[in-house]
């Protein structure tokens, strides 16, 4: 490597490091990223914050609670219904009866203008063609479907969060790789400037390095803006404006691809629930073709009660049995046929989704294997370009390489480092996608770094 010692400058000439330094915002950005590394939070912490903060999850939780209350309320349909009532009636004209007795004629009023009553009743639907049980079961399945929707929302938010986290890491990695490339160009610029002052390098070489530095500055400013945008997305998901991400790993950690547990996938669980709902709806539709049987009883306290002659308050009771059987000229039979067709449709949809999920899982596993193999090639390319950069620096010192050779080698090294380390992040995210597709719970995802 070249020495960075600089000889005495000409009068009035600024040192090279002052003329070639990057913008202050870039320097502060690099310093800030370095300082906060020790305080950075893991992807798991980001997911935990997002799950606690997300409004869609809060809405899904409220929907699940509402569905649970609905299922509990429906279970009370099995019990008899109690009722309390009161009434007042005014009747006109009077209903009178004239009687002629041995003692003389008399008139009897057979009705009363004012009728008042208090009552307590009981209605019990003893048989409804299984409609009550089917309604209760339908509400229970709705509750399970609401819980499944909550699980689906949580998984979606968790994967969005880890994707945003990796995106922040990727933009920071791009920024640090460009900063490393610029630093190498800056050191070379100072060396060439020193040689030019001694008459050992020409102005064209210095200008070439200056142009390379300016291009690095432009890219660093662009990546700084990308970092801000990526962080904004992550802050929105986590609800934390002070959240900081860890530096991307320099090497790929040991990873294990999870096996597919298709029955644990929320998509399959949702279709199983819909299958049960379709079958239950068929039973409910078939119940409409059966009679209903109920018992009703009432306890009355009224005036005149059952004796309009005496016109006094009195207790009396009524009890009755009811049998209803309606016919809508074949409509119920057609509705039952439609319900059976819906069951067949639900079964076919479930099989189709199963095939799609299995195929998607296999595709992502193959992509992961391909990306892992590609990483080995990118690592070799990174090692080769690093070695080439060392050779070019030595050759340039000996006058056997040009500035163009240095710029090309520096750019190749910067790109090779970026490709290699970006591939590591891509593999980590791909593994999370496979974990999502395999049915693995969120708390078991590989999100520790």
Closest CA relative to residue 196, chosen from 184, 208, 204: 204
**Residue 42 — left, alpha, or beta (φ > 0 → left; ψ -120 to 50 → alpha)?**
beta
Q: How many CB atoms lie within 10 A of CB 184?
A: 19
User: What is this structure's pTM?
Assistant: 0.79
Q: Which helix (H) or strand (E) holds 118?
A: strand 114-127
Per-residue buried b or exposed e for 310-325, using 16+ beta carbons within 10 Å of the residue's own CB: eeeeeeeeeeeeeeee
Taking a C-beta distance cutoff of 8 angstroms, is the pair 423, 374 a contact? yes
Residue 256: C-alpha distances to residues 216, 309, 372, 391, 433 (Å): 38, 92, 12, 38, 13
Residue 123: beta bridge partners?
81, 296
Question: pLDDT tens per residue, the chain (449 residues)?
Answer: 333 333 333 333 333 333 455 554 444 444 444 444 446 789 999 999 999 999 999 999 999 999 999 999 988 888 888 889 888 877 665 666 666 667 767 666 656 667 788 888 888 888 887 888 888 999 999 999 999 999 999 999 999 999 999 999 999 999 999 999 999 999 989 888 888 888 777 888 889 899 999 999 999 999 999 999 999 999 999 999 888 899 888 888 888 999 999 999 999 999 999 999 999 888 888 888 888 888 988 888 887 777 766 677 888 888 888 888 877 777 878 888 898 999 999 999 999 999 999 999 999 999 999 999 999 999 999 999 999 999 998 888 887 888 889 999 999 999 999 999 999 999 999 999 999 999 999 999 998 87
- Please state, in angstroms and rounded to a whole number, the distance separating the CA atoms of residues 158 and 445: 10
- Please state, in angstroms and rounded to a whole number, the distance separating the CA atoms of residues 447 and 449: 6
Residue 167: C-alpha distances to residues 164, 191, 294 (Å): 5, 36, 65
CATH fold for domain 16-78+139-290+333-444: Outer membrane efflux proteins (OEP) (1.20.1600)
């Amino acid at each position: 490597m070249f020495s960075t010692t600089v000889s005495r400058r000409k009068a009035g000439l600024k040192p090279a490091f002052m003329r070639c330094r990057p913008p202050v915002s870039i320097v502060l950005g690099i310093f800030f990223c370095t300082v906060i590394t020790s305080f950075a939070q893991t992807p798991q912490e980001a997911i935990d914050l997002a799950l606690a903060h997300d409004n869609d999850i809060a809405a899904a939780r409220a929907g699940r609670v509402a569905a649970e209350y609905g299922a509990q309320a429906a279970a009370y349909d099995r019990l008899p219904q109690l009722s309390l009532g009161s009434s007042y009636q005014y009747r006109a004209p009077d209903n009178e009866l004239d009687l002629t007795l041995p003692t003389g004629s008399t008139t009897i009023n057979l009705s009363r203008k004012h009728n008042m009553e208090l009552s307590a009743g009981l209605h019990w639907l003893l048989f409804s063609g299984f409609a009550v049980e089917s309604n209760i079961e339908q509400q229970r399945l709705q509750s399970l479907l609401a819980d499944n929707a909550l699980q689906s929302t949580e998984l979606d938010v968790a994967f969005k969060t880890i994707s945003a986290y990796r995106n922040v890491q990727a933009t920071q990695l791009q920024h640090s790789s460009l900063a490393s490339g610029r630093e190498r160009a800056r050191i070379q610029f100072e060396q060439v400037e020193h040689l030019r002052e001694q008459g050992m390098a020409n102005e064209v070489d210095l200008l070439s390095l200056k142009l390379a530095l300016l291009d690095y500055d432009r890219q660093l400013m662009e990546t700084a803006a990308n970092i801000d945008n990526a962080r904004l997305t992550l802050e929105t998901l986590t609800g934390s404006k002070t959240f900081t991400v860890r530096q991307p790993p320099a090497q790929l950690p040991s990873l294990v691809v999870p096996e597919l547990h298709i029955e644990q996938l929320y998509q399959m669980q949702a279709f199983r629930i819909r299958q049960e709902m379709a079958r239950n709806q068929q039973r409910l539709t078939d119940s409409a073709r059966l009679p209903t049987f109920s018992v009703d009883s009432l306890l009355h306290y009224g005036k005149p009660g059952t004796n309009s002659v005496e016109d006094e308050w009195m207790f009396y009771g009524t009890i009755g049995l009811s049998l209803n059987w309606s016919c809508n000229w074949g409509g119920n039979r057609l509705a039952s046929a439609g319900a059976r067709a819906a069951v067949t449709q639900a079964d076919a949809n479930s099989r189709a989704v199963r095939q799609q999920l299995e195929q998607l899982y296999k595709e992502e596993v193959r992509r992961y294997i391909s990306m892992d193999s590609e990483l080995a090639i990118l690592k070799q390319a990174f090692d080769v370009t690093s070695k080439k950069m060392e050779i070019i620096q030595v050759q340039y010192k000996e006058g056997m390489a040009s500035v163009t050779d240095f710029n090309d080698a520096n750019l190749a090294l910067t790109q090779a480092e970026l490709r290699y380390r970006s591939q590591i992040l891509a593999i980590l995210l791909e593994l999370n996608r496979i974990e999502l597709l395999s049915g693995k719970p969120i708390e078991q995802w590989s999100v520790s770094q």
